[in-house]
Amino acid sequence: MVVSLTKLAVSVFLFLLAVNARQMNKAHLRARQAEAAKRWALPPTLEKRAELKNITFHNPRASEFWVNGTAIPEVDFDIGPSWSGLLPISSAQNETRKLFFWFFPPGPQGSLDDLIFWTNGGPGCSSLEGLLQENGPFSWSWGQAKPTPNEFSWTNLSSILFVEQPVGTGFSQGTPTARDENDVAAQLVGFFQQFLEVFSELKGKNFWLTGESYAGTYVPYIANFIYENPDQLDLNLKGFWISDPSLSFDVVQEQIPAVNFVHRFENVFSFNQSFLAHLDAQNEACGYANYSDIHVTFPPKGLLPLPGNSRNGPRGCDLWDEIFDAAFLVNPAFNIYRIFDTFPILWDVLGFPGSFEQIQLSPIYFDREDVKNAIHAPASVKWAECSERNVFPRGDGSLPPAFTVLPSVIEKSERVVIVHGLADFILIAEGTRVVIQNMTWNGQQGFQTPIEPDSFIVDGVGALGTTHTERGLTYFEVELSGHMIPQFSPKAAFQIMQFLMGFRENP
């Protein structure tokens, strides 16, 4: 009797323990993950139509660029037809400057009437990063053992053209000469002209410029050049996407919001109390504390001031760098592009993960001889994701686009999206709000009504940040996403592109 009572007590105890400790075997874990993952699949509105789109290029030169989609090293599936190689930036006989491109026609669901252009930033960082790790038809992202098909490939929307630009970036050829953003735009449009001679079936398509980071500067200037020179390009520019964009001075996009950012993610940074107190005191002294409370109002009360009336910020107020250094003391794997990273640092086949280099296995993917051969890339170039050469030999002479062309290119476009990941520390969303509220387009300054919390609803998922539209500009903030939105939040990025291109009415 005593024994069996004890046995009973033990089994009840074990039962409670099992429940309380939430012991979960691998199968249970996988089943619940799989259930959750269903919410993240592509929406059912994207039904499969026929097979791959039949794009045929009649210029015999196009065949020089054809890529065998079953012969991409390490890729064990067919990526479909694509075309890649080098083309010059002008028709001059002696032209030595060439840009490297990789073009993909639309996949089964994609539109034949559109063409997306994608560029990464830097300056000097390769758009092949975007292709392989963000929005291309196959992905080899951080920590992946091998390439996989990308369900959220932008080829499911339309054609996409990745270009390594400006001259000096990636496989591109020739000596960099760009003095400013207008030179970059003129050279790229020169390249587009050469491209459309070979791939002339793409002439007249609806054209969408997209890019991230420093491309937040490139893209508005490229759009401006195209709108100002309508005869130079036989494409119908409709609008653009810029994500985690460089639009203004660092004091606006890094310093003003830095300490607020730390407080938003206090448990992630895990700073000690004395350092937090120091940051708060400095934040106050530098005029960054309460900056948004006071100045970022909807509608704005007038032009927004620069703290200390200087584009460099007040002296001794480089709080962003203090935070950056302190973050490494607590978490040596700290990643400014996505603040949640900790050890172990994920292997990157492109050799540029996070805040510092960790190749682990070499050579990096696009520096392999077999990869170069497969995509008609020059064997002689030592490829790096971000160029060691300065693509602006004497610096970029242009002012940030918020102070120049950005308002007017928004006015000339059908739709424009500015997108920001909320877990990005290299450029901070709150600073992008400052930029928007200080900018006058289509007759008014900034947004007139507030950006509401939880206003960005991802299909099948729910609220994942904010969105707000006024006068042709839609702004998005994406929760949990770092700097590279299509890499970290591919479904959100896909939905935003559907909206930009008019494939859905609401953001």
326 lies in the site for ligand NAG, by CB under 6 A:
yes
Q: Which two three-digit tokens encode residue 8? A: 């009973």
Q: Does 248 bind ligand NAG (CB under 6 A)?
A: yes
Sort strands 462-463 and 457-458 into parallel, antiparallel or unpaired: antiparallel
Torsional sign, CA 369, 373, 378, 383 = negative
440-441/148-149 β-pairing: unpaired
Binds ligand NAG by CB under 6 A, chosen from 85, 88, 106, 107? 107
Comparison of 384 and 406: residue with beta carbon closer to ligand NAG: 406
Choosing from 11, 91, 270, 272, the residue that interacts with ligand NAG (CB under 6 A) is: 272
Site for ligand NAG in 37-66 (CB under 6 A): 42, 46, 48, 54, 56
Q: Which residue in the set 81, 149, 363, 460 belongs to the binding site for ligand NAG (CB under 6 A)? A: 149
440: contact with ligand NAG by CB under 6 A? no
User: Rule CB under 6 A: is residue 155 a binding residue for ligand NAG?
Assistant: yes
Q: Which of 471, 478, 392 is nearest to 167 (CA)?
A: 392
- Smallest gap from Cβ 437 to ligand NAG, in A, equals 9
DSSP letter, residue 193:
H
Mask: binding to ligand NAG, 301-320, rule CB under 6 A, as x and -?
A: --xx-x--------------
Query: In the structure encoding, which two tokens stand for residue 332, read together?
Result: 């040596």
C-beta of residue 135 within 8 angstroms of C-beta of residue 160: yes
Q: Minimal distance in Å, beta carbon 82 to ligand NAG?
A: 11
Kindly state the DSSP code that residue 309 receives in the 8-state scheme.
Answer: G
Asked if 252 interacts with ligand NAG (CB under 6 A), we say yes
Name the one range near ligand NAG by CB under 6 A: 153-161, 261-269, 456-464, 471-479.
153-161
Q: Would you say 96 or 373 has its CB closer to ligand NAG?
A: 96
Residues recognised as catalytic: 213, 424, 483
Q: Which stretch binds ligand NAG (CB under 6 A): 1-9, 90-98, 213-221, 385-393?
A: 90-98
Task: List the one residue from 105, 137, 147, 486 that touches ligand NAG (CB under 6 A).
Answer: 137
Q: Which residue among 4, 33, 267, 274 contacts ligand NAG (CB under 6 A)?
A: 274
Which residues, 187 to 246, sit near ligand NAG by CB under 6 A? none
151 binds ligand NAG (CB under 6 A): yes
- Nearest alpha carbon to residue 263 among 244, 288, 238: 288
Map residue 128 onto helix, strand or coil: helix
- Which residue among 71, 281, 285, 361 contacts ligand NAG (CB under 6 A)? 71
Q: Which of 120, 126, 133, 150 binds ligand NAG (CB under 6 A)?
A: 150
User: What is the number of residues in the chain?
Assistant: 507
Judged by CB under 6 A, which stretch of 67-75, 222-230, 413-421, 466-474 contacts ligand NAG? Answer: 67-75
Smallest distance, ligand NAG to C-beta of residue 321, A:
12
Enumerate residues 6+ apart whose C-beta is below 8 A from 228: none
Q: Work out which of 293, 316, 343, 506 binds ligand NAG, going by CB under 6 A.
A: 293
86 contacts 102 by C-beta, under 8 angstroms: no
Instruction: Output the smallest distance, CB 406 to ligand NAG, in A.
Output: 11
Using rule CB under 6 A, residue 371 touches ligand NAG: no
CB of 1 to ligand NAG, least distance (A): 60
> What is the residue type of 249?
F
Q: Which is nearer to ligand NAG, 218 or 271 (CB)?
A: 271
Q: Which of 14, 18, 31, 92 binds ligand NAG (CB under 6 A)?
A: 92
d(CA 98, CA 376): 13
Alpha carbon distance 349, 81 (integer Å): 23
Q: H or E element: which one contains 485?
A: helix 485-488
Phi-psi sector, 213: left (phi>0), alpha (psi -120 to 50), beta: left
Is the Cβ–Cβ distance between 207 and 236 less than 8 Å?
A: yes
Nearer to ligand NAG, 272 or 342 (CB): 272
DSSP-derived 3-state class of residue 209:
strand
Which of 8/329 has CB closer to ligand NAG? 329
Containing 198, the helix (H) or strand (E) segment is: helix 181-198
CB closer to ligand NAG out of 17 and 92? 92
C-alpha span between 301 and 343 (Å, rounded) = 45
Q: Residue from 70, 91, 312, 360 that binds ligand NAG (CB under 6 A)?
A: 70
- The window from 111-119, 123-131, 145-153, 187-195 that contacts ligand NAG (CB under 6 A) reads 145-153
Task: Tell me which H or E stretch contains 420.
Answer: strand 415-421
166 close to 187: Cβ distance less than 8 angstroms: yes
Q: Which of 74, 78, 95, 414 binds ligand NAG (CB under 6 A)?
A: 95
Place of tokens 């993950």: 33
Q: Which helix (H) or strand (E) holds 441?
A: strand 440-441
Give the separation between CA 141 and CA 294, rounded to whole angstroms: 41
Number of residues in contact with ligand NAG under rule CB under 6 A? 38
CB neighbour burial string for 215-248, b if at least 16 within 10 angstroms, e if fewer: bbbbbbbbbbbbeeeeeebbbebbbbbbbbbbbb
Position 275 contacts ligand NAG (CB under 6 A): yes
Residues that bind ligand NAG (CB under 6 A): 42, 46, 48, 54, 56, 68, 70-71, 92, 94-96, 107-109, 137, 149-151, 153, 155-156, 248, 252, 272, 274-275, 289-290, 293, 303-304, 306, 326, 329, 403, 434, 438
